Copies of this chain bind each other. A is one copy, B any other.
Amino acid sequence: MTAKIHRVVFQPDGRTLQVPDGQTLLEASRAAGLHLQAPCGGKGTCGGCRVIIPQDPPSPSEACRRELTGEELRRHMRLACQVRVHRDMRVVVPEETRLGDQKILTEGTGRDVPLDPNVRRASVHLPPPTVADQRADADRLLDTLAEKDLPDLTIDVKVLRELPEKLRTHDFHVSAVVIGNDVVQLDPPTAGTACYGVAFDIGTTTLVAYLVDLTTGKTVAVASRGNPQAAYGDDVIARIEFCGRTKDGARVLHDLVLDAMNEMVAEACHRAAIKPSAVYEATVVGNTTMNHLVLKLPVEPIARAPFVAASASAHSVLAKELGLKIQPRGRVYTAPLVASFVGADTVGVILATGMHESRRLRMAVDIGTNGEIVLGMRERLLACSTAAGPAFEGARIRYGMRAATGAIDCVDLDGDRLRLHTIDEAPAVGLCGTGLIDAVAALVGAGVIGGSGLMQSAEQLAARRPALARRITGADGDIGFVLAAKGETGTGHPILLTQRDVREVQLAKGAMAAGMATLLDEFGAKLSDIDEILLAGAFGNFIRPERALGIGLLPRVPIEKVKFIGNAAGAGARMLLVNRGLRRVADDVARGVEHVELSQRPDFQTRFADAMFFPG
């Protein structure tokens, strides 16, 4: 069952990944959000992605021999892009190889877009004025910029106030920074051309910031954080309720997320050895609630029927106005939204996957507390949001927890033998989302859980699977299956999968599956018409697809049609940063996507009930 998957442990932090056979270590690390230095993009020419393989390192490739010294090779150092995974292995990532925090998925499958950022810098030499050429300073500058392929600009009056002196101090030679169509800053000609942007993926749970060099389009540093708003509720509804009952609650949540964004900017800038004042623009994708909290827009109507956002449009706001500590004249672009529960993150996913341009029918799925699903192709895109509930994030599960140290993240049943894996290989303390899916899938496969979700009693199992029957036990008026006995855990109590947990999984996967089925029906397509299912986001990336198919969380498609696309929302944010033309595309996408409101569909409840069963 796990034949084609190998377990790779990255040191020093012990992150364990399921890596398909044949993938390179660099690809594996990217898919997992381990962000390694790789300016060459994995061609073996930059020597950035150096890692150490302590035991039985593969013989060095030609690229390794070229890029690494003999001493380094002797220390078992290799380039991650050159090592294909064909067995379980342990890998040490030296500090200098790391770009970002490796607990959070930061890489996404972005498409390449032409470098045409919204922030541009031009060093220009103006013809000095003469009595025969008395053009105003502003016209002189704009005319010259127009000749440099920067036409139709305007200059804000604040910049104009500095213009005459700056021109005359530097002999009519200046470096101009242009954001959108506005000249926002004038520097001495010696200022160079450094110019950065930061793309934010603002999730309910997780924040990621990508620092991008806008002269090359390359990501030069990544930082990430848990969303500190989590202290006020796990999901957006809880946070909106907090805003509703607390004076200045929205302000509190705004300040929290901005503080975290500022920390990430500072961290990423420090790592790239630049000043935050060299960052001229930020792009933001996030769900509607996160978008509104960042913009200081009211959120309460989002959570009250009929669930209406204040604004679904893209906005471009002064960084200073929001309290984002980049260049004070910089701007923050927030991507447009589709609906109250289908946000800019979904728009980012569509841009990153190119679904809006594709002739192939694809379905993108972001599994979280709210599962967002997009189905379609160039001609038509449908999206819905479905309340999967927090089961996959560890909530409402008896021994549930987030994907952190000691969480059981893999469960395999080999005959009667149960094999567990925990994050950081620490003693088990609970069950995270992937472990939960694994456990349910394994027990369904073994007949411990029936098609209706009913867990067999010890008596029912005793004849058929005596070893498993012994793991069935009572639990506070419920029954449960012992995954780890009292003596095998780090907590002093056993870890069980209970009947109620199974019901929670059924509700969650039922909602997701019913959403997918509804979109397919609305589109007028059959399951077999789907060319690809794209799993986006941090959680999706760690799921084992055969298990998700096994419990019916994903519809029954050939497993090779399931693709991991990583943090596609973040990739969309980066694309919007490096190519301003995409912003108009984003507007079109946001307005063009048909939002399917599941609660309005008479057939949704039936589908939901049907989808709660496990596949035969």
Contact = CB atoms under 8 A, between A and B. Distances in A.
Interface of A: 129-140, 154-155, 157, 160-161, 163-165, 168, 295-298, 300-301, 305-313, 315, 317, 321, 337, 339-340, 595, 597, 599-600
Given A136-B308, A138-B312, A164 B301 contact: yes
B160 A297 contact: yes
A134 B165 contact: no
8 contacts: A131-B600, A132-B597, A134-B307, A134-B597, A135-B308, A137-B311, A163-B310, A164-B308
A599 to B, nearest CB: 7
B310 A136 contact: yes
Given A308-B137, A312-B139, A339-B134, A297 B597 contact: no
A306 B131 contact: yes
Given A136-B308, A139-B312, A311-B137, A599 B161 contact: no
Given A161-B296, A297-B157, A315-B157, A131 B310 contact: no
B307 A337 contact: no
A129 B304 CA distance: 11
B160 A305 contact: no
Contacts of A317: 157
Contacts of A339: 134
A168 B136 CA distance: 49
A65 to B, nearest CB: 56
A34 to B, nearest CB: 37
A231 B216 CA distance: 56
Contacts of A312: 135-136, 138-139
A460 B140 CA distance: 59
Contacts of A308: 129, 134-137, 140, 164
A306 B130 CA distance: 5
B160 A311 contact: yes
Contacts of A129: 306, 308
A131 B139 CA distance: 51
Query: Most chain-B CB neighbours within 10 Å: which of A155, A165, A298, A300?
Result: A298
Nearest to A591: B139
Nearest to A334: B157
B130 A164 contact: no
Given A136-B337, A157-B297, A599 B311 contact: no
Contact of A309 (B136, B295, B297, B300): B136
Nearest to A317: B157
A1 B154 CA distance: 56
Max chain B C-beta neighbours (<10 A), residue from A134, A161, A599? A134
Contacts of A140: 308
Contacts of A307: 131, 134
A244 B309 CA distance: 53
B310 A138 contact: yes
Contacts of A157: 295-297, 311, 315, 317, 321
Contact of A310 (B160, B321, B595): B160
B301 A137 contact: yes
A458 B313 CA distance: 85
Q: What are the 9 tightest A-B residue pairs by CB atom distance, in nearest-first order?
A: A138-B311, A136-B312, A136-B309, A131-B306, A129-B308, A164-B298, A129-B306, A164-B310, A137-B310
Contacts of A337: 136
A309 B135 CA distance: 8
Contact of A297 (B161, B301, B599): B161
A162 to B, nearest CB: 8
A128 B164 CA distance: 52
B298 A165 contact: yes
A138 B600 CA distance: 23
A295 B159 CA distance: 12
A599 B130 CA distance: 12
A416 B189 CA distance: 73
A152 B335 CA distance: 19
A600 B297 contact: no
